[in-house]
Chain A
Amino acid sequence: MSDTIVSTGTIAAAVQSGELPARVWMYSNYHCNLACSYCLTESSPRSERRQLTAEQMIAVAEQARELGFTALGITGGEPFLLPWLPETVLAMAEHLPLVLLTNGTLFAGDRIERAAALAHPDVALQISLDSHLPDVNDMARGPDNFAKVVEAVPRLLARGVRVRIATTTGGPLDSPALSPLQHLVASLGVAEADHLIRPIVRRGRADEFGLGVQAVARDIPCELTITGDGAFWGSFGPTVRSGRLDTDLLLTRTILPLAVPANALLGVLRGMPEGTDARLGIR
Chain B
Amino acid sequence: MRDDGQMPRVDLFDLDHAPITVQDYFTVGDPGPIVAALAAVPELMAPTLGFIGAALGPGSIGVRYKEFAILRTSVLQGCSYCIHAHTTVSLDAGLSNLEIRALRGEVALEVGFPLDDERALIGWIDALAGATGPIPDDVWHAAQRYWPQHSLVELTVTVGATMFLNRFATGFQLPTAPHVTERLVAAGMA
Binding site for B on A (CB under 8 A): 1-2, 217, 233, 246-254, 260, 264, 267-268
Q: How far is the CB of B15 from chain A (nearest CB, A)?
A: 9
| A-B contacts, 11 listed (Cβ < 8 Å) | A1-B21, A1-B45, A246-B17, A247-B19, A248-B16, A249-B19, A249-B20, A250-B20, A252-B42, A253-B41, A254-B43
Q: What is the minimal beta-carbon distance from A264 to any residue of chain B, in angstroms?
A: 6
Q: Is the CB of B43 within 8 A of A260?
A: yes
Q: Which of A1, A217, A250 contacts B46 (CB 8 A)?
A: A1
A2 near B20: Cβ-Cβ < 8 Å: no
Minimum Cβ distance to chain A for residue B32 (Å): 18
Contact with A along B21-44 (1 / 0, CB 8 A): 101000000000000000111110
Once the chains bind, are A251 and B47 in contact (CB under 8 Å)?
Answer: no
Apart from A247-B40, A251-B21, 8 more pairs, CB < 8 Å? A1-B46, A249-B19, A252-B21, A252-B42, A253-B40, A253-B41, A253-B43, A268-B20
Chain A residues with CB under 8 Å of B50's CB are 2
Q: How far is the CA of A268 from the CA of B39 in the complex (A)?
A: 16
A-contacting residues of B (Cβ < 8 Å)? 13, 16-21, 23, 39-43, 45-47, 50
Bound: A1/B23 CA distance, A? 12
Give chain A residues whose Cβ lies under 8 Å from the Cβ of B13: 247
Q: Which residue of A lies closest to B43 (CB)?
A: A252
- Contact A253–B20 (Cβ < 8 Å): no
Q: How far is the CB of B11 from chain A (nearest CB, A)?
A: 9
Instruction: Please judge, given known A-B contacts A1-B46, A2-B50, whether A233 and B20 are in contact too, CB under 8 Å.
Output: yes
For residue B43, which residues in chain A have a CB less than 8 angstroms away from its CB?
Answer: 1, 251-254, 260, 264
Q: How far is the CB of B188 from chain A (nearest CB, A)?
A: 41
8 Å CB contact of B21 from A2, A246, A264: A264
Q: A253-B40, A253-B41 are in contact. Are A2 and B46 (CB under 8 A)?
A: yes
Say whether A253 contacts B42, CB under 8 Å.
yes
Instruction: Determine if A2 and B47 form an interchain contact, defined as CB atoms under 8 angstroms apart.
Output: yes
Residues of B within 8 Å of A268, CB to CB, are 20-21
CB distance from A249 to the nearest CB of B (A): 5
Instruction: Collect the chain A residues with CB atoms within 8 Å of residue B45's CB.
Output: 1
- Give the residues in chain B near A249, CB-CB below 8 Å: 19-20
Which B residue sits closest to A254, measured CB to CB? B43
Residues of A within 8 A of B40 (CB): 247, 253
Q: How far is the CA of A267 from the CA of B23 in the complex (A)?
A: 13
Query: Is the CB–CB distance between A248 and B20 below 8 Å?
Result: yes
Q: Known: A253-B40, A253-B41. Contact between A247 and B18, CB under 8 A?
A: yes
Minimal beta-carbon separation of B44 from chain A (angstroms): 8
Choice from B16, B19, B39 contacting A251 with Cβ under 8 Å: B19
A252 surroundings in chain B (CB, below 8 A): 21, 41-43
User: What are the residues of chain B within 8 A of A2 when measuring CB–CB?
Assistant: 46-47, 50
A247 to B12, CA, bound (A): 12
B17 near A247 with CB under 8 A, answer yes
Q: Within the assembled complex, what's the spacing in Å between the Cα atoms of A247 and B19?
A: 5
User: Smallest distance from the beta carbon of B18 to chain A beta carbons, Å?
Assistant: 7
Chain A nearest CB, measured from B36 CB (Å): 12
- Across the A-B interface, the 10 shortest Cβ-Cβ residue pairs: A250-B19, A252-B43, A1-B46, A253-B41, A247-B17, A249-B20, A247-B19, A251-B21, A264-B21, A233-B20
- The distance in angstroms between the C-alpha atoms of A249 and B21, with both chains bound, is 8
Q: Is the CB of A248 within 8 A of B21?
A: no
| From B19, B45, B47, B50, residue with most partner A Cβ within 10 Å | B19
